[in-house]
Structure 1
């Protein structure tokens, strides 16, 4: 597949252009990637360019939609299958963020559901996001869960680079990403794939 090297700013522009092509109504964007590739940084970089194009934006992190510790840590704190299967409250993310922006939805988004630091519901207020508003959600292991979205972006790292960049105390998550690559194949299912082995020189795969 052709690969086009870009600057980080040019990459953000390419993704914003793809949002525009997705249509004039609500657009739900998933920016998928392991923590070492910093999907949050790319997601943040989309906000101002989208607003310049008169699109209101709500930023959401999947880390604010984790299940309570009693559920996600039931099999232990360092179980990769639990990390893969049990951590993300995908139902809550659909119910509170993605569903309300779908056809017939209320347009009311809850930007945070769970506060992991204190293990209780986050005291967030709902935000009205009128068309042509955009919600940008970042996080790991987002694809293959049936999350409704008009645009999905996967930040890809080679297995070697992912292992090298993952802190030692998070190395237990690596089997989850290997399982993700095998079972979901995000390179095949994402709308846009960004090769991100070199953070200052991303490349868009088309």
Structure 2
């Protein structure tokens, strides 16, 4: 399962609640975050720290996500996964160990752009958090707002994530989500 949203804090908050609900149902849960699969800073910032197109196109190491996380967990049994490839604090490889995953485990992955064409097929279901530009500006550091909004609005225009998501939640205030019902 993916939790897709523009604001990292929101996707992590909802993912934590989803993890708690799944664990309450006695399901084994694996947790990962898109920051653990970012490309190195030198590649992310190749065209500047604030470039929204690079943010949208190149921050996530999509081949790494598939190779180390989604493809292995898509196997029916004998699954081994890596929870991260990258440590954003040190800007180095995380060296996370390969771990066994129970056959009935559920992955909860929090991040942005999870319903892009090159990413979405790896998830059985994605919860999409829709957030106004004003709410994003309130919850993202001012120095990141132009990059996040530019990349996010491109994502909305090109990928129509609300149409592809299993569930869409309006997330103006994460403490009070509203499910958007579609026909």
Written as runs of structure 1 = structure 2, the 5 A alignment for 1:56-135 is: 56-104=28-76, 106-135=78-107
How far apart are 1:123 and its partner, in Å? Answer: 2.1
CA distance in 1, matches of 2:28, 2:76: 19
Provide TM-score, normalisation by structure 2. 0.90
Gap runs ≥5 in structure 2: none
Q: Is the CA contact 1:59–1:136 (under 8 Å) kept in the aligned structure 2?
A: yes
CA distance in 2, matches of 1:30, 1:43: 8
SS in 2 for 1:83: helix
Aligned length: 178
Coordinate RMSD, CA, aligned = 1.7
CA distance in 1, matches of 2:34, 2:3: 10
Shift >6 Å, 4+ stretches: none
CA distance in 1, matches of 2:76, 2:135: 42
Q: Is the CA contact 2:7–2:139 (under 8 Å) kept in the aligned structure 1?
A: no
Provide TM-score, normalisation by structure 1. 0.80
1:192 counterpart (167, 172, 177)? 167
SS in 2 for 1:199: coil
- Residue 135 of structure 2: aligned partner: 161
Residue 21 of structure 2 is aligned to residue 49 of structure 1: yes
Gap runs ≥5 in structure 1: 1-28
